[in-house]
Amino acid sequence: MPEDEEQELKVTDHLLVPKHEILNEKEVKNVSVQYNATPDQFPYIQISDPALRELEPKVGNLVKITRQSQTAGETIYYRFVVEA
């Protein structure tokens, strides 16, 4: 394949990688109130996680992960970004 036709492979293009998105301040506040927890009390995800590469997160961001489930339809998880 010629070099100009090569495409960069993205981890997020794989069907088994769930959707990741960084929450803004208002969304973080709503999630914190909903779960009565501070962002750093959520499970951690390392900033070096390949699924986060395209999002360019910062340490301290809260990430929303939306997974498809055969039994539940759609499930949402939250992760707090930490150093590797």
* pLDDT, tens digit, 9 for 90 and up, residues 29-48: 999 999 999 999 999 999 99
Q: Give this prediction's pTM.
A: 0.84
| Exposed / middle / buried, residue 25 (Cβ in 10 Å: 0-12, 13-18, 19+) | exposed
Under DSSP, the state recorded for 43 is P
Give pLDDT, residue 64: 98
- Stretches where the chain sits below pLDDT 70 are 1-7
Q: For the chain, how many structural domains are there in total?
A: 1
Give pLDDT, residue 65: 97
For 62, the domain range is 3-82
At 39, which CATH number? 3.90.940.20
